[in-house]
Structure 1
Amino acid sequence: MANLPPSHYLDSGQLGEDLVAKWLESTGWVILHRRFACRWGEIDIIAQNPGSPEEQRGKGAEADNSSLRTQNSALSEKLQGGSPSGQTSVNQHCILTFVEVKTRKLGSWDAGGRSAITLQKQVKISRTAGIFLAEYPEKADYICRFDVAIVSCQRSLQGTRSKVPQEALASSSIAGYQFYLQEYIPAAFDVLIDS
């Protein structure tokens, strides 16, 4: 029997990212890039929310914005080779998030993808974020954070209607599969770029 072409198989990772992107947009985020890649790696979703820090806290982002601002200033300083300006900008109220999406079948060996976010993976994502900020210097003074989205995937049984788990933030059904955004972790890790 001949092997089927890759286009025949379901790209569950892409579909999980689609679900997370739609959910982010529904909560006020603007998707800037999908699968931003460079030599260091890839970031699944890069999104921006132009609200004030108080609005962000109201939307469930529980990260300490002053800590994020300090880390972002250090990141900008490393990228620009100097010290960041002390001026307060409207952009400092914008949040830029680099989202790693993990899509797994229920009962996966790596805790739904959580175990795959190793320190090495965090450093790769952080370096890739640095490349993004170097390419888009107008965003270098935004508050930056690294989020993780956990998506579960299961095959839908023919003739039965799947129930959305109560804890799911969002769901979608595509090609006989159910996708559930199980967890969204704002500021899941904070790694600065190594020089």
Structure 2
Amino acid sequence: MGQPETATSGMQETPPARAGLDALADRLRDGTLATRALGALGEDYTAAWLRERGWTVLDRNWRSRYGELDIVALDPHRVIAFVEVKTRRTLKHGLPQEAVTAAKQANLRRAGVQWLLDPSHRIAHTGVRFDVATVVVRGGRPLVHLIEGAF
């Protein structure tokens, strides 16, 4: 004789990380979001997406005189990744990663060095790299493309 059937039999519980991603995806679908709000949500979505894949987010929106680091994270191989996030609704103006110009890359490198030199950021790691994450909302859902070692 089997177990008595419960109200949740046959239903799978959504893990908290996935539930968070789904909620952020719902918010990203809002076509009325201002550009700045869309960018902030894209960063939130990317951070949750990275966590779901085993990354540890160390810092968000860290500011220096050279600009802002969107996400600083430790990947599953203990590499510190400085992740620049670009979020777009359409590809009308080109690919999101094209917005990470040579000048922007130079400033991100300088900011990354400053982050690493801060005594409060001492963490065992196996390397450092600069990634670009693109978030494009297509077909009503956000698609993330992570370009590891983009520059």
**Normalised by the size of structure 2, how large is the TM-score?**
0.69
| Structure 2 match to 1:49 | 75
| Structure 2 match to 1:122 | 105
| Structure 2 match to 1:35 | 61
Distance in 2 between the 1:38 and 1:105 partners? Answer: 28
| Structure 2 match to 1:187 | 149
| Structure 1 match to 2:42 | 16
SS at match of 1:188: coil
Provide, for residues 37-91 of structure 1, a one-character-per-residue CA deviation record: whole Å limited to 9, x for no partner.
110011110001353xxxxxxxxxxxxxxxxxxxxxxxxxxxxxxxxxxxxxxxx
1:140 Cα shift?
7.8
Would the aligned equivalents of 1:20 and 1:181 in 2 still touch at CA under 8 Å?
no
Name the amino acid aligned to 2:133.
Answer: A
SS at match of 1:108: coil
The structure 2 residue matched to 1:109, chosen from 93, 98, 101, is: 93
Structure 1 residues 47 and 141: alpha-carbon distance in aligned structure 2, compared to 1, 3 A threshold: closer
Q: Which runs of 4+ in 1 moved over 6 A?
A: none
User: Which residues of structure 1 form unaligned runs of 5+?
Assistant: 1-7, 52-93, 155-162, 164-177, 190-195
The structure with higher relative contact order (CA 8 Å, sep 6+) is: 1
Name the amino acid aligned to 1:146.
Answer: F
Provide, for residues 108-152 of structure 1, a one-character-per-residue CA deviation record: whole Å limited to 9, x for no partner.
3132x1211111110000000011001146248640000111111
% same residue: 37
User: How big is the alpha-carbon RMSD for the aligned residues of Structure 1 and Structure 2?
Assistant: 2.1
Distance in 1 between the 2:66 and 2:125 partners? Answer: 22
Asked if 1:132 is matched to 2:115, the reply is yes
Count of aligned pairs: 117
Distance in 1 between the 2:44 and 2:69 partners? Answer: 14
